[in-house]
């Protein structure tokens, strides 16, 4: 057994390896947190300065990894076409480009950082370099919360104490009407090719090999969750096509039309709730219907929190969700139709006038 392997296996407590889905959620949280520093609308593109701050905050800089190394890793990852962000035209001029990392490229950069640290330590790449990077630096960074306490999406509660969706039973009981509301504000988008998945695939493949090696050496891991990451493996592509999703602008229109904003929450609070949920899973910066329902639960918790001094909901947030649904008037057919009509889309076969925020 090599020196690196014995050190790592000896220092790892039982059941220390979380599931891949848990790791993915933590890394997406970190990615979105740092993307949105200084620009709460940015949840998809990580620039060089923010990447450097992320690495520094994670405690990765030192004898094994210098700031020059970090710059080299960033440039290498951002050389991909996906790393070049098209910005909007300003004053009629040609669109500019700047190097950034997508989430998939961010994962590739993490693998590169792990290899650089391992090479600096022992002269060759450690068999468990990526696991070390995650357990000692990235997952603790996610657990600390938003950078500087000011992330656009870190402050709002989005789960019950047991990890379930807030007011889940109440939301399920209104699933039909919530689906109708979501359909009115969502748009159909064609799912992108698996470019980002291909970029991220080496990261997950490396992590899988390291996980298997550690398990073989007696390190216990959380139950296998490979199905949760099927989309990240290029050899097992998911079906492609169109999907109904809600973007931030549609979420804000929904909030205004249904008396959530500014009656219950500010526009900034509503944005934080959106970004907290959008950070959970792809497609990036968009909500699918399950995410929309989950975000409604978090909205209810923010608008109707537990009593002062109580940290969690005794009823799992059911009353908060009921109060939110009353405010939205989802059980009043006429009021619901009037609010949906504000989108300018057809309601009961009639085209109504649209209302702009």
**Residues 26 and 45 grouped into a single domain:** yes
Question: Mind listing the pLDDT tens digit for each residue in 167-202?
Answer: 888 888 889 999 999 999 998 876 655 445 677 888
Question: Can you give the residue range of the structural domain that contains 295?
Answer: 168-191+241-351
Question: Mind listing the pLDDT tens digit for each residue in 108-163?
Answer: 999 999 999 988 887 655 678 999 899 999 999 988 877 865 444 433 445 544 45
- Residue labelled with tokens 């650089």: 116
Phi, psi of 187 (to 5 degrees): -135, 155
CATH of the domain at 29: 1.10.238.10
**Residues 251 and 228 grouped into a single domain:** no
Reply yes or no on whether the pLDDT at 91 is more than 50.
Answer: no
**Residues 325 and 209 grouped into a single domain:** no
Nearest to 165 by CA among 325, 308, 277, 247: 277
The per-residue pLDDT for 29 is 83
Nearest to 140 by CA among 211, 212, 57, 207: 57
**Residues 97 and 47 grouped into a single domain:** yes
What is the number of structural domains in the chain?
2
**Residues 271 and 139 grouped into a single domain:** no
Kindly state whether residue 91 falls inside one of the protein's structural domains.
yes
């Amino acid at each position: 057994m090599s020196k690196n392997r014995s050190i790592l296996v000896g220092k790892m407590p039982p059941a220390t390896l979380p599931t891949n889905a848990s790791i993915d959620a933590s890394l997406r949280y970190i990615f979105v947190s740092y993307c949105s520093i200084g620009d709460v609308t940015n949840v998809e593109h990580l620039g060089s300065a923010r990447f450097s701050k992320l690495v520094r905050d994670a405690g990765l800089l030192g004898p094994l990894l210098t700031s020059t190394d970090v710059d080299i890793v960033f440039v290498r990852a951002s050389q991909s076409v996906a790393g070049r962000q098209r910005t909007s035209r300003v004053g009629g001029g040609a669109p500019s480009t700047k190097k950034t990392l997508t989430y998939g490229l961010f994962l590739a950069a993490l693998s590169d950082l792990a290899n650089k640290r391992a090479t600096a330590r022992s002269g060759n790449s450690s068999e468990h370099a990526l696991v070390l990077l995650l357990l000692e630096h990235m997952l603790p960074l996610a657990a600390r919360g938003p950078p500087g306490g000011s992330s656009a999406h870190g402050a709002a509660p989005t789960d019950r104490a047991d990890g379930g969706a807030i007011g889940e039973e109440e939301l399920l009981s209104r699933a039909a009407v919530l689906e109708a509301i979501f359909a009115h504000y969502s748009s159909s988008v064609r799912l992108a090719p698996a470019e980002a998945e291909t970029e991220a695939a080496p990261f997950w493949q490396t992590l899988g090999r390291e996980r298997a090696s550690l398990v073989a050496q007696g390190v216990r891991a959380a139950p296998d969750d490979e199905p949760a990451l099927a989309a990240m493996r290029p050899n097992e592509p998911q079906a492609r096509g169109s999907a109904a999703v809600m973007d931030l602008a549609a979420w804000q229109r929904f909030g205004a039309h249904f008396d959530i904003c500014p009656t219950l929450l500010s526009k900034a609070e509503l944005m934080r709730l959106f970004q907290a949920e959008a950070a959970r899973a792809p497609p990036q910066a968009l909500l699918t219907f399950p995410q929309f329902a989950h975000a409604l639960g978090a909205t209810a918790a923010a608008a109707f929190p537990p009593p002062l001094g109580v940290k969690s909901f005794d009823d799992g947030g059911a009353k908060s969700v009921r109060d939110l649904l009353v405010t939205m008037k989802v059980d009043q057919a006429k009021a619901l139709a009037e609010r949906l009509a504000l989108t300018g889309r057809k309601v009961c076969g009639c085209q109504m006038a649209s209302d702009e925020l």
